[in-house]
A and B are shown apart, each in its own frame.
Chain A
Amino acid sequence: SQQGEEDPQALSIQEGENATMNCSYKTSINNLQWYRQNSGRGLVHLILIRSNEREKHSGRLRVTLDTSKKSSSLLITASRAADTASYFCATDAKGSSNTGKLIFGQGTTLQVKP
């Protein structure tokens, strides 16, 4: 079954606003990762948060993880038109780190209008 599910599926905001995307998953995890994909291109890793961490920052990105609710959020502050892309969460189920099985959600398509 699908591990990660993002919400919303699509988000449209004005430049300068903040964008928040959510991810829910079903099983216990070792870590949760967020990736970005520009249209027709490969995915690019943004940030990894381990199951024993609650919050992590990287530049304008802030990721939170709530293992009790099996959910994570990605916040992009002061968005720019160049942030327009699809954003995916991915999880590796506990016990799967020796197989490398990373499961992706359906993604949130973010449009930032100039």
Chain B
Amino acid sequence: ETGVTQTPRHLVMGMTNKKSLKCEQHLGHNAMYWYKQSAKKPLELMFVYNFKEQTENNSVPSRFSPECPNSSHLFLHLHTLQPEDSALYLCASSQLGGELFFGEGSRLTVL
């Protein structure tokens, strides 16, 4: 138990579906992150939020839409995804500049 909870753990969706991934941290951290992990590729930073404000968008396609309503919750809204978006999506939190605490990930399959 890392203090970062991701739901759902597994998600299968069609290309026309709309779904959301949820992340919640109970560590009192002020920064939250979304990373994408695909097979045979390095972990890719997608978004960074610091005190609810987005501080990094790593050229992520608009079909991925993040939302950070408060410092403890982070969402990733998914819309009209492509099969190549299938991956493990990892949420993490930290005090800015410190070590990251990761959730267990949401395994996404796009059909």
Whether B42 pairs with A101 at a CB distance below 8 angstroms is no
B105 CB contact (under 8 Å) in A31, A41, A45, A107: A41
For the complex, give the distance between the alpha carbons of A103 and B44 in Å: 8
Q: Which of A30, A92, A97, A100 has the most CB of B within 10 A?
A: A100
A100 CB contact (under 8 Å) in B41, B43, B48, B101: B48
Q: Which residue of B lies closest to A48 (CB)?
A: B99
The verdict on A99 contacting B56 (CB below 8 Å), with A41-B104, A42-B104, A45-B99 known, is yes
For the complex, give the distance between the alpha carbons of A45 and B104 in Å: 13
For the complex, give the distance between the alpha carbons of A42 and B92 in Å: 9
Taking residues whose C-beta sits less than 8 angstroms from the other chain, chain A's interface range is 20 to 34
For the complex, give the distance between the alpha carbons of A92 and B103 in Å: 20
CB of B108 within 8 A of chain A? no
Whether A106 pairs with B41 at a CB distance below 8 angstroms is yes
The verdict on A106 contacting B48 (CB below 8 Å), with A30-B97, A45-B99, A97-B97 known, is no
CB of A43 within 8 A of chain B? yes
Whether A42 pairs with B102 at a CB distance below 8 angstroms is yes
In angstroms, how far is the closest chain B Cβ from the Cβ of A106? 5
User: Taking beta carbons and an 8 Å cutoff, which residues of B are in contact with A?
Assistant: 2, 4, 6, 31, 33, 35, 41-43, 45, 48, 50, 55-56, 88, 90, 92, 94, 96-105, 107
